[in-house]
A and B are shown apart, each in its own frame.
Chain A
Amino acid sequence: MRHVSRLFALAASAMAVGLALAAPAAAEVKIGVIASTTGPGASLGIPYRNVYTNLPPQIAGQPAKFVILDDASDPSTSVKNARKLIDEEKVDIILGPTFTPGCLAVSDVAVEAKVAMMCLAPIVVPPQKMPWVFSIPQSVPVMIAGIVEHMKANNGKTIGYIGFADGWGDLVLKALEATAGPAGIKIVASERYNRPDTSVSAQVLKLIAAKPDAVLVGGSGTPATTPHIALRERGYAGMIYHTHGVIGADFIRVGGKSVEGTVAPTGPLMVAEQLPDDNPIKKVALDFFAKLSPAYPQVRNAFSGYSYDAFLLVQAAVGPATAKTKPGSRQFRQALRDALEASKEVVGTHAIYNMSAADHNGVDKRARVLVRVDGGQWKLLK
């Protein structure tokens, strides 16, 4: 019995020492990160996370601490993580989750606990209902509008659509419907296919029969090449557009000659070197590569860019917030949210962000460039 009580006393004193040690560090800005580093979303979640593991523990001159939790690509774990970050770690802000269902699940927690969150996957945020939720990536309509503009400039009148038979395919089609109509472009065919399909000949035949001036493929990664190759094999000669989900070397590797000349929108980060010098994003993006590539050589990807942009937005907001009060308090969290909502012309790697009470995404057409496959390379379309 005595043994036990001694142990207890030891533990208590250890805790007291721990608390005493922790006390001076309480002024640091605590940033909670929820990333899917395991599970089906891991290929995206890992590059998202790697930015935060490689950034110095400092933000706007303040000491900072990143508390990083893995949600295994499972929305209910995202929520558990968010509660843990808020209740136990007392974070000032949450960055993440890195997939849309997780973001939707966590946003309720953020609103309820009054902690700002910056979702790193695209979601549609109604700021009136969710004043604490921000979203970093460009919305799909912003990207698709680039394609519609390009088509209009080239006198295209009709477009055919073929996309994944899943949420992504729906999202792209909706964006196309919303942007093509006002530009006077008619959607003459709308087809669907599955990522592992062995043949899309039937859908392609129907597309070609509708005789569109151009075709938009609502796919992502290498599976987006399947209808493209089939269209070219069946002799379709019109323009074929893709979404920002295909940007990468693998798409060209699998697509080969047939994807030559295709046009797709993407964030400026992906072609940073090719941007004109007067584009402020160029400097930020190159700076980002230079800063992180020694520790993380694969830094050049869209997801790491979103992570870094979230960090830059928080960095810009920490200054005004610390002027009001110290980190770690309810007032600071409120001040940080208000400062985030007031973000003006914050230059990131993907966009120049202008938040407002009505817009918690804050990106405009400067967040997108058009690129074309030219000689087996993605080249910026001027």
Chain B
Amino acid sequence: MNFDIALLLIQDGLTNGAIYALLALAILLVFAVTRVLYVPQGEFVAFGALTLATLQQAKVPGTAYLVAGIGAVTMLLEIAAALRARRRQGLGVSGLLYVVIPTALLGLAVWLAPRQPPLLVQVLLTLALVVPLGPMTYRLAVQPIANASVLVLLFVAVAIHYVLMGLGLVFFGAEGWRTPSFTSLRVELGPMTASGQSILVLAASAILIVLLWQFFGRTLWGKALRATAMNRTGARLVGIPTEASGRLAFTLAALFGGFSGVLIAPFTTIYYDSGFLISLKGFVGTVIGGMVSYPLAALGAVLVGLLEAFASFYASAFKEVIVFSLLIPVLLWRSLASRHVEEEHDE
């Protein structure tokens, strides 16, 4: 191996690592706030990439119908809940969130798709279609059992993963898609050329991470999320609506997932089931962060990206083995180094 190849590998690893970092943060956020191990995170990556690809074919993506459909189901659930509680308060807001906005999005997608809008509009539309799926999934599948044990929540997350993956197959078909590059720019950086797309991914990921950091540190909602993550009961006692926190966590996770999908779509062919493996690597990053630390999770994810690049170079047949074997020493070190805390206890 010479210096040039090492540089190229590092560039490749950093680009992938940046995507993994976004997913690691989303998984960690959801886990901290709702205790759900967010298996379906990858589906949002695939949905983001495939929705954009479908829009570029000037077709209406299936996610537009999905948003409207899940919205309608969620609304029915809200109405049922309101009837049971004999209280109509809040139904108007739900109607707006779950029926009016999704229907408007569907209409917008149907109207915009054949008109081939500029790329930026397509990306925004993609995010607008994918992100609402996050809070709706939360309302539909997680909120009714928000107090169940971590294991039950994990089962539900796996179920959501399969449902969304199946829907992905129905909407986008079994074949893969690739979107054209956002930029054909190539930058000379000393001895190496970096593709504009890689730089875009790194910059966009960094900006999103900084925004998340600012959001946690400076806004009331960010602090509410942190409080919920710290102690659910305590947060509820001081008047933080934990359900809204959960919804917000799922929204942010869907945003991160959809955005990652849009970012990697020009690099690689994305299939309806590609997301799982990608988010699994983000998950390894989360584990390196001990499922608590955001900076460590992001760094861990970048490490996974770098390790993957070098493993592909030296022993491509064992690449996944090497990446996922990283979990074992990390878990060993974690379990030896940290004090054991009983997290599951009945309230």
Please report A residues at the B interface, Cβ cutoff 8 Å. Answer: 43, 162, 165, 191-203, 205-206, 209, 221-223, 225-226, 250, 253-254
Contact in complex: A196, B312 (CB < 8 Å):
no
Q: A43-B174, A196-B274, A201-B9 are in contact. List 9 more A-B contacts (CB 8 A).
A: A165-B317, A194-B320, A196-B273, A201-B12, A201-B312, A202-B309, A205-B5, A223-B269, A254-B176
B273 — which chain A residues lie within 8 A by C-beta?
196
Contact in complex: A198, B313 (CB < 8 Å):
no
B59 at interface (Cβ–Cβ under 8 A)? no
Bound-state CA distance A165–B19 (Å) is 23
Contact in complex: A202, B316 (CB < 8 Å):
yes
Contact in complex: B175, A196 (CB < 8 Å):
no
B278 at interface (Cβ–Cβ under 8 A)? yes
- Chain B interface residue count, CB cutoff 8 Å, equals 32
Contact in complex: A165, B316 (CB < 8 Å):
yes
Contact in complex: B5, A209 (CB < 8 Å):
yes
Closest approach, in angstroms, between the C-beta of B191 and any C-beta of chain A?
A: 15
Bound-state CA distance A203–B317 (Å) is 10
Query: Beyond A193-B312, A196-B273, A226-B269, is A201–B174 a contact (Cβ under 8 Å)?
Result: no
Dominant SS among interface residues on chain B: helix
Bound-state CA distance A68–B9 (Å) is 52
Closest approach, in angstroms, between the C-beta of A164 and any C-beta of chain B?
A: 10
Contact in complex: B278, A198 (CB < 8 Å):
yes
Bound-state CA distance A253–B319 (Å) is 28
Cβ-defined partner of A194 (8 Å) among B269, B309, B319? B319
Contact in complex: B12, A254 (CB < 8 Å):
no
Query: Beyond A223-B269, A226-B268, is A202–B9 a contact (Cβ under 8 Å)?
Result: yes
Q: Give me the 6 closest cross-chain CB pairs, A-B, nearest first.
A: A202-B312, A202-B313, A192-B317, A196-B274, A222-B176, A201-B12
Contact in complex: B269, A201 (CB < 8 Å):
no
Bound-state CA distance A79–B44 (Å) is 39
Cβ-defined partner of B175 (8 Å) among A197, A202, A221, A226? A221
Q: Which residue of A lies closest to B271 (CB)?
A: A196
Q: Which residue of B lies closest to A222 (CB)?
A: B176
B264 at interface (Cβ–Cβ under 8 A)? yes
Contact in complex: B271, A199 (CB < 8 Å):
no
Closest approach, in angstroms, between the C-beta of B146 and any C-beta of chain A?
A: 32
Cβ-defined partner of A196 (8 Å) among B277, B309, B317, B319? B277
Query: Beyond A194-B320, A198-B16, A202-B9, is A223–B309 a contact (Cβ under 8 Å)?
Result: no
Query: Beyond A222-B175, A226-B268, is A202–B274 a contact (Cβ under 8 Å)?
Result: no
Bound-state CA distance A160–B304 (Å) is 27
Query: Beyond A198-B264, A209-B5, A222-B175, is A203–B316 a contact (Cβ under 8 Å)?
Result: yes
A43 — which chain B residues lie within 8 A by C-beta?
174
A250 — which chain B residues lie within 8 A by C-beta?
175-176
B200 at interface (Cβ–Cβ under 8 A)? no
B267 at interface (Cβ–Cβ under 8 A)? yes
Contact in complex: A198, B268 (CB < 8 Å):
yes
B172 — which chain A residues lie within 8 A by C-beta?
none
B221 at interface (Cβ–Cβ under 8 A)? no
Cβ-defined partner of B12 (8 Å) among A191, A202, A209, A225? A202
Query: Beyond A196-B278, A250-B175, is A191–B316 a contact (Cβ under 8 Å)?
Result: yes
Closest approach, in angstroms, between the C-beta of B109 and any C-beta of chain A?
A: 22
A203 — which chain B residues lie within 8 A by C-beta?
312-313, 316
A221 — which chain B residues lie within 8 A by C-beta?
175-176
B310 — which chain A residues lie within 8 A by C-beta?
202
A205 — which chain B residues lie within 8 A by C-beta?
5, 8-9, 313
B178 at interface (Cβ–Cβ under 8 A)? yes
Cβ-defined partner of A199 (8 Å) among B12, B177, B274? B12
B277 — which chain A residues lie within 8 A by C-beta?
194, 196
Q: List 16 A-B contacts (CB under 8 A).
A: A165-B317, A165-B319, A193-B312, A196-B274, A196-B277, A197-B268, A198-B267, A199-B15, A199-B16, A199-B308, A201-B12, A202-B12, A202-B309, A202-B313, A205-B313, A222-B271
Q: Which residue of A lies closest to B6 (CB)?
A: A205
B9 — which chain A residues lie within 8 A by C-beta?
201-202, 205
Closest approach, in angstroms, between the C-beta of B201 and any C-beta of chain A?
A: 11
Query: Beyond A194-B277, A205-B313, A209-B5, is A199–B268 a contact (Cβ under 8 Å)?
Result: yes
B176 — which chain A residues lie within 8 A by C-beta?
221-223, 250, 254
A226 — which chain B residues lie within 8 A by C-beta?
268-269
Bound-state CA distance A324–B243 (Å) is 78
Q: Which residue of A lies closest to B273 (CB)?
A: A196
Chain B residues numbered 1-34 whose CB sits less than 8 Å from any CB in chain A: 5, 8-9, 12, 15-16, 19
